Chain A
Amino acid sequence: MDEKKLAIRARNGDKGAFEMLMVRYEKSLYNYIYRMTGDRELSLDLTQEAFLKSYLSIKDFNARYSFSTWLWRIAHNLVIDHFRKKKLNKVSFHAEVDGEDVEFDVPGNEKSPYEKMLNKERREIIMEALEKIPPEMKELIILRHFNELSYQEIAEVTGLPFHAVKSKLYRAREALRKRLEAYREAL
């Protein structure tokens, strides 16, 4: 069933439909929050909070818009609130990335240990580079490259004007590319 139908059913009080929506988005929402905060425990809490908030305010959901964008907007606000509360000017991934295990068992992931090692290294390189660019730029990269949101969806989630997304995303990419200069041969 498509997202819109599920969202309408959930808005009409169908708990099962809401659960199906959660199952559909829990992984990517968790990853968005985790990449923004760099804290696994906190990401689990904030993901749950985002889902609970969306459940409690599902009656306000306008079916003309996409449910996922609406959900991401809730998560985006939660992440911003968290940083405001913690008075963090800089978002840090580092501690968690340097943690003992960044790789999880992904069902159906049949990569060789060598490939896994390369992936892990690449992940660390990218996370480190992302840590060095401003959080607003980092969010644009995460939303576009990891969550694969369109420019319109990014505008709705972040509250940026649509025309600004393209140029800001360009600047964010250039900033990231600069940080990844050392790995030029891979680019």
Chain B
Amino acid sequence: MKHYSLEEIYAYLDGEMTSMEKSLFEDHILVCKECASKLEEARKFFSFVKIEEEEPPINISSLVMEKIDKKRRYIPFFYAFLVVLLATLLLPVIIGPSRAMYLYYIEFNAVKKGYHALETIFRLSSLLKIPGQALIIGIVLAVIPFVVIGLKKIWRKI
């Protein structure tokens, strides 16, 4: 008589036999004491090894939902930041060439009118400040929402 291996007996207990294999096995253990005792041993082992699951100490799903909601809340801020930052970076690019043309015109006129070279340099430098200031203002505007969020967090912790 062909005996079943322990590996096959485990597969039976795991519910991993086909219905044909299962019925052949069940017929076999009715007549084979050796396999029946191996099956009994395997059953004991399975029930000994089975231990209850622990309850997680916190509600994990609601914590994850909070994190997901937070992420969603931050998305508009993130896009606002991107828009302001891009606008700010583009501003000097837009303003730059027009200012350069304007400066060239002034300089040209100044030379024509016989202005002092120092005066021309002063005019030029003061006009160059405009894009720089725009950049700083833009960055400050973009950072404000994040500062507000940070302050809120600190406030909540207090």
Contact of B10 with A173 in the complex, beta carbons under 8 Å: yes
Interface set, chain A 23-77, CB cutoff 8 A to B = 23, 26-28, 30-31, 34, 40, 44, 47-48, 51-52, 55
B104 to chain A, nearest CB (A): 53
Interface set, chain B 2-22, CB cutoff 8 A to A = 6-7, 10-11, 14-16
B64 contact set on A, CB distance < 8 A: 22, 48, 51-52, 55
User: B55 in the interface, Cβ–Cβ < 8 Å?
Assistant: yes
Q: A112-146 vs B: 1/0 string, CB under 8 Å?
A: 00000001001100100000000000000100111
Could you list some 28 contacts between A and B, CB below 8 A?
A: A22-B65, A23-B61, A27-B53, A27-B55, A27-B56, A30-B56, A44-B56, A44-B57, A44-B58, A44-B60, A51-B64, A104-B54, A104-B55, A106-B52, A107-B55, A119-B51, A119-B52, A122-B48, A122-B51, A123-B52, A145-B46, A145-B49, A146-B51, A166-B7, A170-B7, A173-B45, A176-B49, A186-B44
User: B63 in the interface, Cβ–Cβ < 8 Å?
Assistant: yes
User: A169 in the interface, Cβ–Cβ < 8 Å?
Assistant: yes
With contacts defined as CB atoms under 8 Å apart, how many contacts are there between chain A and chain B in the complex?
97
Contact of A22 with B61 in the complex, beta carbons under 8 Å: yes
User: B24 in the interface, Cβ–Cβ < 8 Å?
Assistant: no
B34 contact set on A, CB distance < 8 A: none
Q: Which of A31, A48, A167, A174 contacts B53 (CB 8 A)?
A: A31
Contact surface of B with A, Cβ cutoff 8 Å:
6-7, 10-11, 14-16, 41, 44-46, 48-58, 60-61, 63-65, 67-68
Instruction: Find the B residue at minimum CB distance from A30.
Output: B56
Contact of A19 with B55 in the complex, beta carbons under 8 Å: no
Point out which of B10, B16, B44, B61 has the most chain A C-beta atoms below 10 A from its C-beta: B61
Instruction: Find the B residue at minimum CB distance from A165.
Output: B16
Whether A51 touches B60, Cβ cut-off 8 Å, given contacts A145-B46, A151-B16, is yes
Whether A47 touches B60, Cβ cut-off 8 Å, given contacts A19-B65, A170-B6, A170-B7, is yes
Contact of A26 with B7 in the complex, beta carbons under 8 Å: no
What total of chain A residues lie within 8 Å of the partner, measured CB to CB?
Answer: 45
Instruction: Find the A residue at minimum CB distance from B58.
Output: A44
Whether A22 touches B60, Cβ cut-off 8 Å, given contacts A187-B44, A187-B45, is yes
A40 contact set on B, CB distance < 8 A: 57
* Interchain residue pairs A-B with the least CB separation, the first 5: A22-B61, A170-B7, A30-B56, A31-B53, A51-B64
Contact of A123 with B60 in the complex, beta carbons under 8 Å: no
B54 contact set on A, CB distance < 8 A: 27, 30-31, 34, 102, 104
B41 contact set on A, CB distance < 8 A: 187
How many angstroms between the C-alpha atoms of A51 and B10 in the bound complex? 32
Contact of A28 with B61 in the complex, beta carbons under 8 Å: no
How many angstroms between the C-alpha atoms of A167 and B10 in the bound complex? 10
Q: Which of B10, B45, B53 contacts A170 (CB 8 A)?
A: B10
B51 contact set on A, CB distance < 8 A: 119, 122-123, 126, 146
User: A177 in the interface, Cβ–Cβ < 8 Å?
Assistant: yes
Contact of B61 with A26 in the complex, beta carbons under 8 Å: yes
User: A91 in the interface, Cβ–Cβ < 8 Å?
Assistant: no
B129 to chain A, nearest CB (A): 45
B5 to chain A, nearest CB (A): 8
User: A82 in the interface, Cβ–Cβ < 8 Å?
Assistant: no
